[in-house]
């Protein structure tokens, strides 16, 4: 029989155990940061400058941007992901990256709208012009009519599309001034003081 005196319990003593980080979660976090590094490597230098990265990470991302898709690129991206994991909070970077993407998507949308209008104006002429003037009342009617006539003439004669390009540029400016052809009224009214 074992007596209780053999087992001495110190009631006031607390044992602490080291809690290791979850390896699976660490791997997931690094994978997200790897994808972020890959995404940043596809940005232009001007866009990268807006992210406000530390110098060593910025330099590494610029270098990776010019690399071919090989093992060296993958190692560099892993290095960037490790640096992001250790050194900085990535939330502001993710927010800025989302803003860059939305600007890019908006510019692409404007580009397609201007292209469609240019093609319609050249093909349909006055009918499309009156529809455009209904939508974009601030557009310079005389300039638009002249650009459309010149572009139509170039198409008929098979000349290079100089006026067509000018028409496209002008349409981009018209849509930028108005905020786009389908801008939505937000319901806010401002009073003059």
| 69-117 pLDDT tens trace | 889 999 999 999 988 888 788 888 888 888 888 887 888 888 888 899 9
Residue 75 has what pLDDT?
Answer: 92
- In this structure, the answer to whether residues 112 and 171 fall within a common structural domain is yes
pLDDT at 2 over 70: no
Residue 191 lies in a domain: no
Residue 191 has what pLDDT?
Answer: 34
- In this structure, the answer to whether residues 32 and 60 fall within a common structural domain is yes
Query: What distance, in Å, lies between the first and last C-alpha atoms of the chain?
Result: 96
Residue 190 lies in a domain: no
Written as six digits, the tokens of 189 are 């009214």
pLDDT in tens, 152-169: 899 888 888 888 889 888
- In this structure, the answer to whether residues 64 and 37 fall within a common structural domain is yes
CA pair distance 160, 157, nearest whole angstrom = 9
* pLDDT (average), residues 184-191: 32
Q: Select the more confidently predicted residue: 184 or 29.
A: 29
Q: What is the mean pLDDT of the chain?
A: 80
Q: How far is CA 88 from CA 64, 81, 83, in A?
A: 19, 11, 8
Residue of 182, 62, 173 whose CA lies nearest to 114: 173
Residues whose CB is less than 8 angstroms from the CB of residue 90 and which lie 6 or more positions away in sequence, other chains included: 33, 36, 84
Other CB atoms closer than 10 Å to residue 155's CB: what's the count? 14
- In this structure, the answer to whether residues 82 and 111 fall within a common structural domain is no
Number of compact structural domains in the chain: 2
Residue 74 lies in a domain: yes
Residue 172 belongs to domain with CATH number: 1.10.60.30
pLDDT at 180 over 60: no
pLDDT at 184 over 50: no
Residue 100 has what pLDDT?
Answer: 83
Residue 193 lies in a domain: no
Written as six digits, the tokens of 3 are 């007596």
- In this structure, the answer to whether residues 84 and 122 fall within a common structural domain is no
3-state helix, strand, coil in the chain (%, to 5): 70, 0, 30
Backbone phi, psi, residue 176, to 5°: -70, -40
Among 88, 117, 141, identify where a domain stops.
88
Residue 184 lies in a domain: no
Domain carrying residue 51:
23-88
Residue 162 lies in a domain: yes
* pLDDT (average), residues 123-127: 87
- In this structure, the answer to whether residues 84 and 52 fall within a common structural domain is yes
Residue 117 lies in a domain: yes
Q: Is the pTM of this model over 0.85?
A: no
- In this structure, the answer to whether residues 126 and 159 fall within a common structural domain is yes
Residues whose CB is less than 8 angstroms from the CB of residue 115 and which lie 6 or more positions away in sequence, other chains included: 168
Residues found in the chain: 193
- Indicate the pLDDT class of residue 192, thresholds 50, 70 and 90: very low
Residue 12 has what pLDDT?
Answer: 64
* pLDDT (average), residues 26-47: 88
CA pair distance 65, 41, nearest whole angstrom = 5
Residue 108 lies in a domain: yes
């Amino acid at each position: 029989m074992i007596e209780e005196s053999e087992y001495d319990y110190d009631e006031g003593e607390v044992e602490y155990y080291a809690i290791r980080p979850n390896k699976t979660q660490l791997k997931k976090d690094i994978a997200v940061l790897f994808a972020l590094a890959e995404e940043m490597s596809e940005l232009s230098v001007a866009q990268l400058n807006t992210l406000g990265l530390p110098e060593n990470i910025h330099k590494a991302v610029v270098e990776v941007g010019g690399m071919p898709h090989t093992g060296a690129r993958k190692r560099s991206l892993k290095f960037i992901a490790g640096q992001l994991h250790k050194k900085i909070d990535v939330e502001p970077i993710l927010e800025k990256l989302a803003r860059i993407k939305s600007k890019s998507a908006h510019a692409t949308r404007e580009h397609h709208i201007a292209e469609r209008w240019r093609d319609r104006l050249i093909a349909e002429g006055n009918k499309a012009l009156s529809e455009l003037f209904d939508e974009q009342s601030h557009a310079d009617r005389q300039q638009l009519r002249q650009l459309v006539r010149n572009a139509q003439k170039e198409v008929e004669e098979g000349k290079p599309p100089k006026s067509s390009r000018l028409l496209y540029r002008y349409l981009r400016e018209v849509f930028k001034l108005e905020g786009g052809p389908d801008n939505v009224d937000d319901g806010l009214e401002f009073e003059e003081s």
